[in-house]
Structure 1
Amino acid sequence: MSVETVYPILAGRRALVVGVANEHSIAYGCAKVFRELGADIALTYLNNKAKPYVDPIAEELDAALLLPLDVAQPGQLEAVFAAIGERWGSLDILVHSIAYAPKADLQGGLLDCSLDGFLQAMDVSCHSFVRMAKLAAPLMSEGGTMFAMSYHGADKVVPNYNVMGPVKAALEASCRYLAHELGPQGIRVHAISPGPLQTRAASGLKDFGLLLSDAVARAPIGELVDIFDVGNTCAYLASPYARRLTGSTVYVDGGLNIIA
C-alpha cells in the first residue's frame, strides 16, 4: 500500500494521468494513489508497443478510459479530451508526466544540441502541457488541479541533464503563468519536482546510477523517494486541504534541493 491509512479525500474526482509506461513510472504512482483515495482514473498509452505494459495497470486501477496518446501526432490530444468529455463530461485532475529528447541531443552537452532536438524536447516535454491545459480547462468548470513533472535540473545545473534543464525550466515557468491565467476559474497548477527515481525515462541520462547514489548520500532524509511519495503529494495538492495553493514548484526529494 502506498498510504498507511486510506481516507477517500478524492472520492468523486476524475483524474486523467498521462505518461504511464509501466509499474515503475511516476504517472503510475500518481494514478494508483488517486485510485486508492477514491478518484476515477483515465490513462493514456504512447503507442501499440507500450499498450501491453499499460493494459494490466488499467485493469488493476479499474480505469474508466485507456486511450492512445502521442502528443507529437496531430489530433491525438484532442481525441483524448473529446473522449473524456463524452464519457465523464468533466475533469478534476490532470497529470502531465511525459518528456522526450532525442538520445543524441540528451546525452550530448547543450552546446551540441541540435535545433530539431531542442524543439522536439520543448514540444513534447513543455508545450504539450500548455496544450493539455487549454483542452482540460473547459472540463474543469467546477475548478480542478493540474500537475506537470519537473526536476531540480530546471533550477540548478545537474551534470548530464543537458538540454532537459532549459526545457524543464520552461515547464516550471509555464506552470506559474498557467496558474495565474487559470486561477480565476478555480483551477490550480503545480510543477512537481521529484528527486532522482529509477524510471525507464531516467535511465536515458548518462551516469544516472551515480546521480542516485549521490542523492542518497546528500539528502537530509538519507534515502530515495519513490513514485508513491510523488503520488501522495499530488493527491494532497488536488484535495480540498490544498484549495488555496497554486503556482508552486513542489520538491519531493527528501530535502535534497536544499543542499549546496
Structure 2
Amino acid sequence: MGILDGKRILVAGVTMDSSIGFATAKVAQEQGATVLISNFGRALGITRRIAKRLPSEPPVIELDVTDPAHLEGLADAVREHVDGLDGVVHSIAYGNPETLLGGKFMQGPWEDVAQALHVSSYSLKSLAVAARPLMGEGGSIVGLTFDGSIAWPAYDWMGVAKAALESTSRYLARDLGPDGIRCNLVSAGPLKTLAAKAIPGFEDLESAWKDRAPLGWDEADHAPTAKAVCALLSDFFPATTGEIVHVDGGFHAMGL
C-alpha cells in the first residue's frame, strides 16, 4: 500500500521528464494515486509523449492557467477521467530570461514582470479556484518555490514572483481551510530542469549548495522534492497548511 492509495491527483505543468512535475507524477503513481497531468500550447505535444514514460500513462489535460476559458473548463475536463480531485500540484513558473533574470532586476520592464507574476504567482490562486469544485471533501494543494525570503544572485524578478507565490499560498490556506483544503509549498534547492537552464549564473547557486548543505545536494536528483510533495498530498499532514517545507539538504538553515 502507498500513502496516496485511492487519491486523485492533478499535476499541473508537466513538460519534460526532467521536470519536478514529472518526478512528482511518477512518485504519486508509485504511491497508489490516479494521476492526471497538464500543459498547453506547443508544449502539449511534448507532454503527451513523455506521459508514456510514467509507470502508467496518465490522461493529459490542456490547461493554460492564465486562460479564463481553460480554467472555467477544468472541472469538466477532469471529470472526463475521474469524478473529483484529492490533490493538486502547481508546478508552473515563467519569467523572460532575456529581460528579468541574470542581473537585470533594475531594467526589468513591467510587461514582463506582470507576466511573470501572473504565471508564477497569481496562477496558484487561479488554479485553486478552478479546482475547488472538484475537491468537495477537502484535499491538498501543493506548489513549488525557491526560497523567496531573500535576494539571490541572478534570480531577480523570479525571486519576487516566488515571494508573491509564498504569500499567495498563505492566503489560500486561510481562505480554503474552512473547506478542508490545505495549501502548502515545497522549497527545493537548485535542480537541473528546463527552467533552471534559462537562468544565467544558475551554476553558481549549484556550487554554493554543494559547499554548504549539511546533507549534501544532488541537483540531478528530483526524487527528494517529489517525495516531499507527495507527503503533503497525503493524509500524513492533516493539520498542516500555509507551510513551506524546505527540501534543500539543510542549506536554508546554515549561516556563512
Q: Say whether the fold is shared (TM-score over 0.5).
A: yes
Shift of 1:64: 4.2
Question: Could you tell me which amino acid in structure 2 is paired with residue 21 of structure 1?
Answer: T
Contact 1:149-1:193 within 8 A present in 2 as well: yes
CA root-mean-square deviation: 1.6
2:231 paired residue among 236, 251, 254: 236
The CA distance in 2 between the partners of 1:49 and 1:9, in whole Å, is: 31
Q: Which residue of structure 1 aligns with residue 187 of structure 2?
A: 193
Deviations 1:87-125 (A, max 9, x none): 322101100111111222222422211010110000000
Q: Which residue of structure 2 aligns with residue 120 of structure 1?
A: 115
Shift of 1:59: 5.6
Off by >4 Å, runs of 4+ in structure 1: none
1:32 paired residue among 16, 26, 31: 26
* 1:180 is aligned to 2:163: no
Deviations 1:208-240 (A, max 9, x none): 112111111110112226311111111111222
The CA distance in 1 between the partners of 2:70 and 2:112, in whole Å, is: 21
The change in CA–CA distance for 1:95 and 1:247 in structure 2 (over 3 A counts) is same
Determine helix, strand or coil for the equivalent of 2:178: helix
Q: Which residue of structure 2 aligns with residue 71 of structure 1?
A: 65
User: Where does the alignment leave 5 or more consecutive residues of structure 1 unmatched?
Assistant: 1-6
Provide TM-score, normalisation by structure 2: 0.93
Q: Which residue of structure 2 aligns with residue 252 of structure 1?
A: 247
Aligned length: 253
The farther-off stretch of 49-58 and 158-167 is 49-58
Q: Which residue of structure 2 aligns with residue 142 of structure 1?
A: 137
The CA distance in 1 between the partners of 2:49 and 2:73, in whole Å, is: 19
Question: Could you tell me which amino acid in structure 2 is paired with residue 143 of structure 1?
Answer: G
Q: Identity over aligned residues, as a percent?
A: 36
Question: Could you tell me which amino acid in structure 2 is paired with residue 87 of structure 1?
Answer: H
The CA distance in 2 between the partners of 1:235 and 1:103, in whole Å, is: 30
Contact 2:74-2:130 within 8 A present in 1 as well: no
Provide TM-score, normalisation by structure 1: 0.92
Contact 1:22-1:54 within 8 A present in 2 as well: no
1:20 paired residue among 8, 14, 23: 14
Question: Could you tell me which amino acid in structure 2 is paired with residue 139 of structure 1?
Answer: L
